[in-house]
Amino acid sequence: MKITSAFDSGAIEVLSLDDPANIRLRLRKDNAADFHQWFHFRLTGAAGLPLRMVFENAATAAYADGWHGYRCVASYDRQNWFRIEGTRYHDGQLVVEHVPERDSVFYAYFEPYSYERHLDLVARAERSPQVRLRNLGLTVEGRDLDLVTVGGDAPGRMPVWIIARQHPGETMAEWFVEGLLERLLDPADPVARKLRAQAVLHIVPNMNPDGAVRGNLRTNAAGRNLNREWRAPDPVASPEVFLVRAEMERTGCGLFLDIHGDETLPYVFFSTAEEVPGFTAAAATAQARFIEAFLAASPDFQTTEGYKPGRFGEELLTLASKWVANHFGCVSLTLEMPFKDNALLPDEAVGWNGARSKRLGAAMLDPILRHVATCSQPTLDSAILQETNT
């Protein structure tokens, strides 16, 4: 019996593997910071054996409250991931009990989204004549920071910015972007066609590829939490934010969405902008209209549960969506998805997963179109005709 994690997003520390009924593990910290909660590893040679895996330092994880009601995910083929019912948090330890059916099984905190899949996603997107793929620059470790731009720079088109995975362990965020891009680039989808005709969408599928490959929970390779870097990004320690923010200054921003996952709350919700200095009545009306449209587009989304006011305190304007709301004065929201399940529409087999995140991403096109159509004035017919002819 062996445990390995020397692969893309792999992360675990093995303390003892002598007894299948008492496997002792530790959650590994981010490479340059103390955050720990993400895990992803492969266990081999244990088909049919009753396993009891104990994560000894679960109580000191970044969001220990998130273990309550959490169920580990597992896969035999790395394509189909399921939840392990025998998961519980007890006396400060996360305990996972499972009898694997095969000799090779992968366990993870949430369904992974590999860097190879990221590269496939942006390459697939670039095949569309509607897409321009750009490398904004390099990350701390020299990886490409990819920007997918959909739609041209014709006058009057609203610039829409969507970024994902500032926190690399929140893999549901890139699953969301995959679903959004697939629908947005569908030549037969009428919502996508109309949106492409009226807006230019700038999409960063993975803000933190270094952290993603390393198996970090929240930070980049330099140990920076990118979603606390927006007020004054360091071009050396947080080039990912520095580069994206500079491009946003060039293009302008009429709508901003920052896609995340929340370890604790079993809901899909927005973190909104009411606390941002300069938040106006007009901004409140536009934000409410966007939220209403998303409620209509997806029953997975709700507005009852979410973050309490004052959560971010003095850090407020270091967060992406809060800085953008203050700087550009546009609708600017952080979307949170659960690591566990959606309590409104639970799925016992898979909980919240990649496929559900993709569907939510596809549904986001509807409120984006409503926002763009409400706030923009250009006539669409000629733009749609031009796209059809090209």
- pLDDT, one tens digit per residue, over 132-142 is 999 999 999 99
How does the average pLDDT of the chain come out, rounded?
96
Residues linked to residue 95 through DSSP beta bridges, in sequence order: 54, 88
- For the chain, the structural domain boundaries read 2-108, 115-389
Looking only at the bridges linking them, the beta strands covering 255-262 and 331-338 are parallel
Q: Please give the structure tokens belonging to residue 210.
A: 């270094």
Element (H, E) at 116: helix 115-126
Strands 255-262 and 158-164 turn out to be parallel
pLDDT tens by residue, 296-313: 999 999 999 999 999 999
Distance of alpha carbon 174 from alpha carbon 209, whole angstroms: 11
**What does each C-alpha distance from 195 to 21, 83, 297, 332, 381 come to in angstroms?**
55, 36, 15, 18, 12
Concerning whether 292 is annotated as a catalytic residue, the answer is no
What CATH number is given for 2-108 in this structure?
2.60.40.3120
pLDDT category, 152, cuts 50, 70, 90? confident
pLDDT at 27 over 50: yes
Average pLDDT of the residues in 133-152: 96
Catalytic residue, candidates 101, 111, 336, 387: 336
> CA-to-CA distance for 292 and 176, rounded, in angstroms?
20
Average pLDDT over residues 276-292: 97
Please state which architecture CATH assigns to domain 115-389.
Answer: 3-Layer(aba) Sandwich (3.40)
- Residue 376 binned pLDDT confidence (cut-offs 50, 70, 90): low
